[in-house]
Structure formats: C-alpha cells, structure tokens
Amino acid sequence: MIGPNVCGTSDNFAVTTNLTVVNNPVSLAAGGQQQFMATFNEIATWKIIITGTISGAKKTLSGRGSAINATWDGSTDNVFFFRTEPVTTSLEIPCRESIAGPGFTISSMRTQSGTLITDFDGGGIGMGWGTTPLDVVQKSQADSAIFPPQGTKYYHMKGTDATNDQSIAMYTNSNGPVFGLNADPDRVYFNVFIYGTGLPNSRIDLRLMETDGDQFTYAQNITWTGWKLISVKYADFENTLPGGNVLPNPDLCNRVRFFLKSAFKGGSSEAIFDYAVFTLDTPFQP
Ligand SMILES: [Ca+2]
Ligand SMILES: [Ca+2]
C-alpha cells in the first residue's frame, strides 16, 4: 500500500450484522429515542443518515468502532423538523457503497425545547396577534404556499415603503402576561426561521417589548434565499425605545413584534417567518 489508508478499513471489511432499529414505529415525544445497531468484522468509521420522506429533515449520526449502538433523539441537522412520517436510513462507510438501512415510522414528534411564542399552526403562548400597517402593505397573513420548517403555516408580510421612512408594517401579539423567561439576558435566546425570497432590500426588525416600557430591536437584512434559523441572544438586542429601566429584562418581556422594514428608503420588502421560540443557554436546536 502507498501512503496512509484513507478508507480506515481493510479489503476484508464486512458488515456482519445489518443495521437494525429497535423501535418501529418510534415515539420521539417526551425524550423518546430510536436505537440503531450493527456489527462489523473490524473497526470502521461509520455514519447513519436518517431522512424524513415528507419533511426533508436529515440527521447524521457518526462514530467509530466494530459495532454500532447509537441513539437518535429525533433532532435534525437542517431547518426542517422531523414529523410523524416514514423515514429512510442509510449506512455509510468510507470508500464503500452506501448501504440502505431499515425504514421506520415516526408516530410522535420530538418534544421541542424552549418557550414557543407562535408556530402559526395554533401553538404558542403569544395571543391576540394583529398587524398595524404603516405604509403600502400587499400581504400580511398566515400562509402555506411554501413548505415550512414546522407544521403547514408560517407568516408572510410584503409591502412597499412609499413614505420613505423604511417602515412598512408591524405584526405583534397583544399586551398580555409576561412570557415567563429567565431574567438573565445573557442566557436567553430569541429564535425564528426566516425565508428569503431574493427580493432585494428586504429587512425585518425583531423587537422584544417589556412591561416596564423598554423595547429592544435586532435589525435583520434578509439576504439569503430559502429558510434559515436566526438565533439572537437577548443581550444582543439594542434598546431602541428606552421607556423603562433601560436594562434588558427577559422576565419582563410580554410581546414580540415582527417589524417589516425596507433596508433602504423607498424600497419594497418581504419577510416570511415561522416558529418564534425563546431558548435558555443555547440557540434553538430542532
Ligand atoms: Ca409553522
Ligand atoms: Ca427593561
């Protein structure tokens, strides 16, 4: 042999027990897990790729050894949540053909972490949502034309800044009780999936409003196409209306505002978003 064996296995490598799963269907709610097992005749570096046939969610498990004994908690590596759906699996060993693994069905979805504000499918603690138009608004509605990360619906805003002040429309929940977040702004993250259509000048301001009168803003230019998860630490929002104690107080936050802006004066802007959730200590991981 010339040079190192980049494949990590000999020519005699063989799978001695095919990849199997323990649960079919598998219930992933409330910490439920799927378990994968296989054996080889020598040590190998392996990957299992799990694909949701409806969601397009994808998860890769990996390891090294002469046996696989791996668990999966229902999490995804891309933006799409695994759903109650059939999934396919494959086993990948370097330098070898992909081996189809067992298919199985998800009977209940993973229980997501965090404080869900809205998923636009009826879930979340934010109530009394409504739009305040400030300019020419072509669209401000729950929509389902694009396949979203979660459920069937998301929110879609589109408008034109005819008055040259960059502001187009605000979508906000009503002034209800606080969300019950941790008080430490360095521990709390706000997360939302945003879909870019490629329309230039699109911008959305994410705004957190507190019962003491402070408002904190994170301005997000939407420069990508497709879905992307945006996660921002509460402490990284800027105080744009110091009406309270001027300090970021997640424990006083009771409203979220999606503020459609044009990145430049006089532009048109479009924002599509889904699944607004606060998490503690880490960004959201669906
Ligand atoms: Ca949704
Ligand atoms: Ca405050």
Cα–ligand 2 centroid distance for 250 (angstroms): 8
What domains are defined for the chain? 15-108 (2.60.40.10), 115-280 (2.60.120.430)
Cα–ligand 2 centroid distance for 264 (angstroms): 29
pLDDT band at 3 (very low <50, low <70, confident <90, very high): very low
pLDDT band at 112 (very low <50, low <70, confident <90, very high): very high
Q: What is the pLDDT of residue 4?
A: 52
Q: Which of 181, 190, 194 is nearest to 221 (CA)?
A: 194
Model pLDDT for residues 69-80, shown as the tens digit of each residue: 999 999 999 999
Ligand nearest to the CA of 275: 1
**Unique residue bearing structure tokens 């630490």:** 233
DSSP string, 11-24: TT--EEEEEEES-S
Model pLDDT for residues 238-253, shown as the tens digit of each residue: 999 999 999 999 999 9
DSSP string, 154-167: EEEEEEE-TTSSSE
Query: 133: cis peptide before it, omega within 30°?
Result: no
Ligand nearest to the CA of 153: 1
Pairwise CA distance, residues 48 & 98, whole Å: 10
pLDDT band at 6 (very low <50, low <70, confident <90, very high): confident
Ligand nearest to the CA of 156: 1
